[in-house]
Amino acid sequence: MTDLKQSYSVRLNDGHFMPVLGFGTYAPDHTPKSQAAEATKVAIDVGFRHIDSAYLYQNEEEVGQAIWEKIADGTVKREDIFYTTKLWATFLRPELVRPALESSLKKLGLDYVDLFIIHVPFAMKALEKCKDAGLTKSIGVSNFNHKLLELILNKPGLKYKPTCNQVECHPYLNQSKLLEFCKSKDIVLVAYSALGSQRDPQWVDPDSPHLLEEPILKSIAKKHSRSPGQVALRYQLQRGVVVLAKSFSEKRIKENFQIFDFELTPEDVKAIDGLNRNLRYDKLQLLWYQDDAGLCLLRQSCWELQTGAVPIQPFWNGLPVRE
């Protein structure tokens, strides 16, 4: 990936194209959902065409409204927008997958999404059926390591391999080995928390370091007359990573898009590579259990299972995915 123009997209292994810079719409629970709509409209006006959301974010109605307003005023056409949604863990049973996607489509007011991915490491053939039905153009995964990806890729009869793997990725967690593996398998790595997370106390340790205060990033930014955030985003693009930028601030949304008109030197990239410390901001703890209704998964930070928890094994097309 050498020619990073504003309109630059990466070709997925199924032939579709994904813009290399995306707008993330997650916000903490205390943030009014209306802000997601306003921020998405600003993002589209600025030039973002890749919009990333999820059932879990509980804002797809507002994000969909924003997209349609920008279609109505002539800023974009539907085909200009690359929209991603995610299957949350409460819909993992095969018969619940398509209804979950159809529910998102109804909230969005869309006939299809461009990418439908599994939010947590668990998988099944039902996503392939959603692609066959035309409800999504591409399918992928999120938060998978290379061993889990290998289980999918080596499964006999696999119809569509994942087009992408969306993971936490930033200079403190550069995922270099996973990136190398994904490239070797023609799977695009998509980086979330690329600016070091929004520090939501529900997920993030308050004592964790502030990425954008990192002296090396600040020094490189000063050299290029840029912000540390712009440097962190540009770093991912030059590594061949699709990157998601999250902000509801109009100033920062505009700033985050202005990363196509400068280039980091090999020395800059090497210095940023050296910041890796395998530090995760998003410490999502998951609890699997089984009840009379089937398989469920809880966020331990949000819910507590009171009784009856039993260990279970998640599967992708019949293969266990726990190590």
User: In Å, what is the CA distance from 39 to each residue of 27, 240, 248?
Assistant: 11, 26, 5
Binding residues for substrate: 119
Helix (H) / strand (E) element for 294: namely: strand 294-299
User: In Å, what is the CA distance from 194 to each residue of 177, 204, 218, 265?
Assistant: 17, 14, 16, 19
Q: Give backbone dihedrals phi and psi of 291, rounded to 5 degrees, phi first.
A: -130, -170
Cα separation, 285 vs 304, in Å, equals: 11
Kindly name the residue from 26, 55, 57, 281 that is annotated as catalytic: 57
Asked whether 36 and 59 are in contact (CB, 8 A), the reply is yes
* Secondary structure of residue 136 in the 3-state scheme: strand
Residue identified by tokens 């962190």 is: 232
Helix (H) / strand (E) element for 37: namely: helix 34-46
**Burial (CB count within 10 angstroms: exposed 0-12, middle 13-18, buried 19+), residue 212:** middle
Cα separation, 91 vs 296, in Å, equals: 8
Asked whether 22 and 51 are in contact (CB, 8 A), the reply is yes
Q: Is 172 a catalytic residue?
A: no
Binding residues: 119
For the annotated catalytic residues, the residue numbers are 57
